[in-house]
A and B are shown apart, each in its own frame.
Chain A
């Protein structure tokens, strides 16, 4: 049905896809894995000739025997969506913000003259029919993704290309969306080409798996076999990066004796107007302990972290740090903030694009008036974050660094103040698989060498298994379960924890 022969794509002198051969038979499901920049999305876009004009495409792209590359515009427009459609990452901006979603679903049907009803399509993706009248911003991320799927099926294509369809969704919603997609692909006997950086998502959905690395196809085979016996080192790195919950080999944290408490949260309540975001939370983090706070988006975990850091005043309850109640204002609060540092999810937006690494790291020192011997302190922090030798990086701007290096700069900016607790909000979620492992290892090494405690906020239970000593599960503002990693993740006692674990895609 789809056949790529010797496909290469250049942007100017830069080759982003080189000599890729792929075939997809009707009804076959193929996953295309790779990190950012591996060329996997370029391959997907080339199938419907959606690459920008500056792209130079070589080779053959045969869709039902016709070469997409040489089709007339009229023929191409007829093929688009009717023969093959795309599920874009709809959680972002792939829907027109000022038009109703029903209208957008109906648009290709009118265009290609296919019969069908928006209501039926919405029912297929398990959305109520009234949602047709909604605008994209009125829907949740999961609902928008369902709309994207309904839209892709509108003209009855035989091939569906899904480009990172569940990225940016949390684990429970991701499982629901994948279930809908899987069911429809099986029911309608569709061919599916699914692109993702997440092997476990592809393993859930696809029978076959292809792995791309730096524009080349490095491995191709049955999904189970590729994951069980990777032949290419890059595939091995990708599989190793996604921890399997319950597998001792993926448990990197060394067992620590029960430490004395560093931070204690007692009966904490935070209200936003009439909404109770955090509802009576008790949480303790010991000296040098790594605690994972897991839960879906909207569970209140970020609000809890902000309140712990003194960025938000609690409605009631207490936060005790190192035996003393945390001050709510003044110098004492500032001193407390120095000891508790934050690491955010996306380093490229956490760093000011016009500040050099030195400026970014030194800023905390200046704010806290610790500026004497600045250079030595910054160098030490940058080297602690494993950017060695520091002199190579100090004058760099963020855009000259890779994602992993940027995250190290953010961590160095925290370390320079010699904190005792690190609050990390999804520290590896926006990093590539191969880099992710390095950052996790860095956090563990910092704990071992500096006795640095961490509160890791994540919806990724695999990360919790990899790194944490204890896990706290948050749901609707409450901590529904907490305990050691083994206890919570292997023998969960609360229904919600079990639901979260069930939603994790299995490799």
Chain B
């Protein structure tokens, strides 16, 4: 019953996203047809024809209805700028983004949780003070600034633009190495920002558990300090952090915009940036639906996983 409720809630959120996606970009100033024909001579007749082609001459509710019905069939419309189906464009860019965000999240989770646990367990130690200080700083600085700083500091050590070089040999190993090489700077930037939050949340969550009576029980049983931490404190303290990781993962997909723009990483973030400069209605709609959908789905996953990890939460 409650499981059904969660899925129902997620479905409702997705519906809201679809509705919002349509109307939000209709209020954005700028005429798409004008921007499409920018720099080229065009007559009023040509513009009218374009309008008809993209269905922009029809009343708003008709436009919405056709958008909504095709959305249900997985058709996100056609991009003005790319002149291709939006879904194809997004799918093509999804891979690089998932590679970047996935790598960064994985590293950030492992590093952040480890740092948080160590900092909390040795509260007020030098390690704790340094970790907390650095985390707060990294969390506070603008991502693009951090990215540019990294570029300057590392010099020519790592490539700072794109995902692969054109002159790399076509075999798998060289291609993979090349992509990995390009991945270093953007993922370090992303890790620095995301990891800080995980570390801080894990730290405060563990600090809250530190005085729990069941830890005294565990100590009284004769457990070593690190076993008390590993077996008893961390499994309880990690629950809020895991929820956060999933919620963030959804957001990071969209939140990589600045990082991808700075490093010209050919992912969804860069695509978002390009679509906004259009503005490319259908592409923006599609991107919004996909990224907001990712947040909703991850939220749902976080709920379900929390139910699996914490026996007190009954999801099913």
Interface residues of A (CB under 8 A from B): 45, 48, 50, 76-82, 85-86, 88-89, 92-99, 107-108, 111-112, 135, 137-138, 151
Contacts and interface: CB of A to CB of B under 8 A. Distances in A.
Given A135-B311, A137-B312, A95 B214 contact: yes
17 contacts: A50-B220, A77-B223, A80-B220, A80-B221, A81-B221, A88-B216, A88-B220, A92-B213, A93-B212, A93-B213, A96-B214, A96-B232, A97-B236, A98-B312, A107-B223, A135-B311, A138-B311
Interface in B201-241: 212-214, 216-224, 231-232, 235-236, 239
Given A96-B232, A97-B312, A98-B236, A77 B222 contact: yes
A111 B235 contact: no
The CB with the most chain B CB atoms within 10 A, among A78, A107, A138, is that of: A107
Contacts of B57: none
A89 B213 CA distance: 9
Contacts of B221: 80-81, 85, 107-108, 111
Nearest to A100: B311
A50 B216 contact: yes
Given A82-B222, A96-B236, 11 more contacts: A77-B222, A77-B223, A80-B219, A80-B221, A80-B222, A81-B222, A94-B216, A96-B217, A96-B218, A107-B221, A111-B221
B217 A95 contact: yes
Contact of A86 (B220, B236, B310): B220
A98 B209 CA distance: 13
Nearest to A148: B217
Contact of A88 (B217, B223, B311, B312): B217
Interface string B277-316: 0000000000000000000000000000000011110000
Nearest to B217: A94
A93 B214 contact: yes
A134 B218 CA distance: 18
A293 B84 CA distance: 77
Nearest to A92: B213
Given A50-B216, A88-B213, A98 B222 contact: no
A135 B213 contact: no
A162 to B, nearest CB: 13
Contacts of B219: 50, 80
B222 A112 contact: yes
B31 to A, nearest CB: 56
Contacts of B220: 48, 50, 80-81, 85-86, 88
Interface of B: 212-214, 216-224, 231-232, 235-236, 239, 309-312
A116 to B, nearest CB: 14
Given A92-B213, A96-B232, A98-B235, A111 B222 contact: yes
Contacts of A85: 220-221
Nearest to A95: B214
Contacts of A48: 220
B206 to A, nearest CB: 14
Nearest to B214: A96
A258 to B, nearest CB: 49
Contacts of B212: 93
The CB with the most chain A CB atoms within 10 A, among B217, B219, B239, is that of: B217
Give the 5 A-B residue pairs with the shortest CB-CB distance, closest first.
A80-B222, A135-B311, A108-B221, A77-B222, A94-B213
A78 B214 contact: no
B171 to A, nearest CB: 48
Nearest to A138: B311
A351 B219 CA distance: 35
Contacts of A112: 222
Given A50-B216, A88-B216, A93-B212, A98 B311 contact: yes
Contact of A111 (B216, B223, B232): B223
Contacts of B218: 96, 107
A93 B215 CA distance: 10
Nearest to B211: A52
B222 A97 contact: no
B121 to A, nearest CB: 13
A107 B219 CA distance: 12
Contacts of B239: 98
Nearest to B239: A98
A111 B235 CA distance: 19
Nearest to B233: A96
Contacts of A137: 311-312
B216 A98 contact: no
Contacts of B231: 107
A80 B221 CA distance: 6
A255 B95 CA distance: 85
B222 A108 contact: yes
The CB with the most chain A CB atoms within 10 A, among B223, B224, B231, B311, is that of: B311
Nearest to B225: A73
A138 B314 CA distance: 12
A135 B307 CA distance: 14
Nearest to B238: A98
A359 B174 CA distance: 74
Nearest to A84: B220
B146 to A, nearest CB: 37
Given A92-B213, A93-B213, A98 B310 contact: yes
Nearest to B236: A98
Contacts of A76: 222
Contacts of A80: 219-222
B87 to A, nearest CB: 42
The CB with the most chain A CB atoms within 10 A, among B214, B223, B309, B310, is that of: B214
Nearest to A103: B231
A151 B236 CA distance: 20
A50 B222 CA distance: 11
A195 to B, nearest CB: 14
A284 B214 CA distance: 45
A45 B311 CA distance: 30
Contacts of A97: 214, 236, 310-312
Nearest to B227: A111
The CB with the most chain B CB atoms within 10 A, among A76, A96, A111, is that of: A96
